Amino acid sequence: MKALETTIAAPMAQAELIVRSALGDQGFGVLTEMDVAAVLKAKIGVDRSPLKILGACNPDFANRALTIDPTVTLILPCNVVLETVSNGTRVAIADPRDLMPNVELAELAAEAAQRLVAVISAIEIS
């Protein structure tokens, strides 16, 4: 799967604040969050580096996509992954152009991708 991604020299907690702000600036809110590392530790006793998934959504894009194809619910919200790596925090966002390859959604997917690229750019200069 293709992702829009970058790594920033910041610890996970600081990176999350930067990501949430950049998402908000582009009209996305965070609907869900999952601390994958904590879940794995609690459920199966596995220790791993910090890993969190934020479920981001832009209500306008979601509504437009659902109007075109109700099965889009299968890929909502958009996953934004934060993972601790040796030089900071890796931020990866699912590329909507890869998630919605059909012609009817192409324009919308391109618009959403443009906003998410702006999120990545904002994160890189933070």
Residue 20's CATH number: 3.30.310.70
Alpha-carbon gap, residue 1 to 10, rounded angstroms: 25
Give pLDDT, residue 3.
95
Domain limits for position 78: 3-125
Q: If phi over 0 gives left and psi between -120 and 50 gives alpha, with beta otherwise, what is residue 27?
A: left
Give pLDDT, residue 74.
92
Give pLDDT, residue 8.
96
Give pLDDT, residue 39.
97
Give pLDDT, residue 101.
84
Alpha-carbon gap, residue 11 to 9, rounded angstroms: 7
Which residue positions in the chain have pLDDT lower than 70? none
pTM score of the predicted model: 0.94
- The tally of domains found in the chain comes to 1
